[in-house]
Structure formats: C-alpha cells, structure tokens
Structure 1
Amino acid sequence: MSNFLTDQQIASLVEAIQSAEEHSTGEIRVHIDSNTEAHNAETAFEVFKKLCMNKTADRNAVLFHVNFEQKYLTIIGDTGIHEKVHQSYWDHLHDYITSEFSKGNYYKALKSAILETGLELKKHFPVEGENHNELPNEITFS
C-alpha cells in the first residue's frame, strides 16, 4: 500500500471520492505510484488511459497521480473539465497539494483536493437524471 497514508486514510479518501462525485457526472481517481523513478508526466498519462479515464461520456475525469517518494504530483483533467476550469485552476490545486505534502499533510491535501474538484465538477457537470458511476472509486497503486 503506502507508507504515507494509513489504510483508514485510504478508505476515507475513497469515501471522499464518492462524496465528491455524488452531485456531478464527473469522475475522480487517485493513483499512487511507487515504481516510477523519473518525474515523468507521460507515466501519469499512461495511467490515465489505462484506467479508461479518457472514455467518460462528458470527458470530465480527473486523475491525481502521486509519487510520494519522488515528491511528484500530476493532475490530469480530461478535455471536458479542462475547457471549463483552465490551466490556472490546476496550477492552484497543484500548488496547494504540494505545499501541504511538504508539511507532511498527505491525507489532508488529497482529501481537500478531491472535495474541491468535486465542487468544480458539480458546477460544470451537474447530475441531470440518473447518475451512473462510470469508473470505480478505489485508489489504485503501482
């Protein structure tokens, strides 16, 4: 699992994802990478595709790709959500998370970012009718 998050915190992050997605058609995933040595955004894009995050109906999936050992974070918002919030939103979120990570607040940073992302998804992609969960909410690891 992870040396930076307890099993209980990981379970709580899954609940945060469920809560964040509740009022939106958007999808949020967290992937914790312990294998990649380089700071490589290409790896995050590979994970994004492997998790089928580029296949949601509204193209509004968001991936938080974290490598705690390498002190590396990539946030990928698919084209639908990126067009709505623009790069400045992701930059702000990235700065907040990495600032909290530097203080050792791994759980707090991820949970806050998930919930904030959920608010943006709700604003731009509100649920109309039935809300199908297109992707699993579990946190993935490599």
Structure 2
Amino acid sequence: MKSFLTHQQIASLVKAIQSAEEHSTGEIRVHIDSNTETRDAETAFEVFKRLCMNNTADRNAVLFHVNFERKYLTIIGDIGIHEKVRQSYWDQLHDYITGEFAKGNYYKALESAILKTGLELKKHFPVTGENPNQLSNEITFS
C-alpha cells in the first residue's frame, strides 16, 4: 500500500483541525479509508454517524472522508453548516481538493480544506462563550 501522508503530516493535520476549530463551535474530522471497495457516499455517512458527528450542539460538524487508493473523497457537512454554505461551497471545496490530489498534493489539499472550512464555521458559528471540543480532532482510519 502506498503511503499518501507521513506521520508528521498526519500530526500537522490534527493541529490544523485544532486551529480551524479555535474560533468556532464547529467540529472537523478527517477519516482515511483504505478498506472500502465501493465509491459511494453511503460509507462516508456511516463513518459520520459512527464518529457521532451528527450529535454536535449546533449540527455543524464536517467530515472529510478520503480513500486515496480509490481516488475518492466525500465531504459531509451536517445540516447546521450545510444550510449556511449550501451545496455549491462543498462542490468547490471538493473540486479544489481532488485537483490537488491529482497533482500528488495530498497534505496541502487537506490542510487547506480544513482551514477554509474553519473560516466558514467561524463566520456562521462564532464562539460566544465557552467552546468545549465536542469531538476528537484525531485523524481516524479504517
């Protein structure tokens, strides 16, 4: 199996998630899937639910579900953030990420997408008081 991200890059992505969530009540997760044989969003939705991403207070969690081997990416924004940014935002972000993936820029694409998403979350869900981390920032794998 080809390695698409180094351990250092994975650790840096966790820091990018922490930074992106700092000024927002939103939550961001990255899941790297190397087991799924199909290229459909159903698997990503299962991961979204398994990671309890649909349980945030403002329903503003975002999942980047990536399968590098299958060249597949699904971005899921829960209903709270999706209502604010609409499908066109996710489509543009998806196009950017997959364009960078095609150039082999896996880390750059994910880091940039995480930070861009953080800006949108900050715009629509700014911190107004305490800001507990509702979900782990770790990168998950299957």
Q: Does 1:21 align with 2:21?
A: yes
Give the Cα separation in 1 of the matches to 2:6 and 2:21.
23
Q: Secondary structure at the match of 2:80?
A: helix
* Structure 1 segment 47-126 matched on structure 2, within 5 A: 47-126=47-126
Output the TM-score relative to the length of structure 2: 0.99
Alignment length (residue pairs) = 142
Which digits, 9 at most, give the CA deviation of each residue in 1:51-87, with x for residues without a partner?
A: 0000000000000000000000000000000000000
Give the Cα separation in 2 of the matches to 1:40 and 1:113.
21
Q: Secondary structure at the match of 1:128?
A: coil
Superposed displacement of residue 92, structure 1: 0.1
* Structure 2 unaligned regions, length at least 5: none
Give the Cα separation in 1 of the matches to 2:35 and 2:134.
27
Q: Secondary structure at the match of 1:116?
A: helix
Superposed displacement of residue 2, structure 1: 7.2
Superposed displacement of residue 36, structure 1: 0.3
Superposed displacement of residue 135, structure 1: 0.1
Greater than 4 Å deviation, 4+ residue runs: none
